Structure 1
């Protein structure tokens, strides 16, 4: 039997999931009345590189009705900024898992995300499938991204990581454990990369929440339809009585010295290239990974 959250206005909530400790929980009471806000912030102890989210992590670290909003693959000038504006309007927060090559092209957005109080984790340098890489390649993809994000962020980068394509390997997992970097999974996949309009994105997330009652939501801040969906999604969450939870690290990451990332592509088409990569549903390996993960978390 795994321990449950003890909730209450004066309670300090602590949960232990293997080597995962999330504490304390505290509410954000600085938001205007009527906004969604942040119901509480959880500090994540990343010691030992724990998994957070389904199917690996403890399902009970969130209470019923609690939601963690996460965005992968940015930053993207138009889409990330539109999402930031929607979040700010509702006085709520999210976790952004950034891709190194996108950060190198759009470093100013890293500062904007951090300045607005969101948590920044990473998502590799060039979005490869880490399960196919040897340890030196995994190390470079991971460490170059953390190092680059930190150069442009006014706040310490969180030791939070999400695998591209949600595809891990024992080799990669062991590396994150050795580096005390939390590995983030997904409870509710918006599958927004498959969509071309905002309504299906909202519908899929809300259906997932109805089925599970809580969870970490995956979206991507590189799609216009996702950016368009966020205001409506936040309105649905508020109307449905859901509570947004923000995750922050308990400690900072010790960066690896002398990591030289690849030269970024200077063309403004980098964002377009990244979007195209995620819109190509023809990749057999990509489909296999995503379909397997979707089946596991539904």
Structure 2
């Protein structure tokens, strides 16, 4: 029985790989980062070592029961891998969906526990929010988070120090599509992406898998990337010790 299961698994993997071809966007390469207190994203820090025309797909605010599955389907259809920055409370509410991200080959970090304006909180409150989000991540995945994205990209000295001490990478961005307006259409989001790409030429793209219009627009957004000749680079981190 075990040999039959292995054969079936191999067939499934081969069939999945066969579906990825020149008609898909695909994932061109993977960068594996160290588990360290580094800071990336040219919006606030050092740019990742990307060539012109290379982009990293990232999504914030999930997992969302309504929208994240649509995002995952769009990515799977194009054989593209992404990094998801998850809210701690959402991980606790949707642990199976959070784990599905990893099963499907994506990577994940945290995006605070409740998405607050951290600068308006006391030092203790900020550290407690970080503690809770890290605990939710570890409960779901069994390991410590490798990366953190600040809510609203509003960094604070308190958490920058804590993240550096605990070897958690800070992931900022290079470009976004401002995809949090409920009235946004697919055409509007595609135009914003085109403008951001034309301006930056490479880098970490911020999107939101918890946002309905983004989830609906993602097949079109990925087509924009392919049509413009962009290559997807996937971010991963070294295994936890």
Normalised by the shorter chain, which TM-score bucket?
0.7 to 0.9
- After TM superposition, give the deviation of residue 195 of structure 1 in Å: 4.9
CA distance in 1, matches of 2:224, 2:176: 17
Q: Which runs of 5+ in 2 are unaligned?
A: 1-16
Cα-Cα RMSD: 1.8
Aligned to 2:233: 245
Per-residue CA deviations over 1:16-39 (Å, capped at 9, x if unaligned) read xxxxxxxxxxxxx87621211111
Q: 1:119 and 2:112 equivalent?
A: no
SS at match of 2:67: helix
CA distance in 1, matches of 2:19, 2:107: 18
Number of aligned residues:
223
- After TM superposition, give the deviation of residue 147 of structure 1 in Å: 2.0
Regions of 4+ moved over 6 Å:
none
- After TM superposition, give the deviation of residue 173 of structure 1 in Å: 0.8
Q: Which runs of 5+ in 1 are unaligned?
A: 1-28, 255-298
Taking a change above 3 Å as real, the CA distance of residues 240 and 124 of structure 1, as seen in their structure-2 partners, is same
* TM-score, normalization by structure 2: 0.86
Per-residue CA deviations over 1:154-197 (Å, capped at 9, x if unaligned) read 7x454110000110111221111111111111111111012522
Taking a change above 3 Å as real, the CA distance of residues 131 and 236 of structure 1, as seen in their structure-2 partners, is same
Per-residue CA deviations over 1:43-64 (Å, capped at 9, x if unaligned) read 11232x1111023332351110
Taking a change above 3 Å as real, the CA distance of residues 30 and 211 of structure 1, as seen in their structure-2 partners, is farther
CA distance in 2, matches of 1:69, 1:241: 15
CA distance in 2, matches of 1:36, 1:174: 38
Q: 1:177 and 2:164 equivalent?
A: yes
Does the 8 Å contact 1:198/1:228 carry over to 2?
yes
Aligned to 2:215: 227
Q: 1:68 and 2:56 equivalent?
A: yes
Q: 1:133 and 2:121 equivalent?
A: yes
SS at match of 2:85: strand
Higher relative contact order (CA 8 A, sep 6+): 2
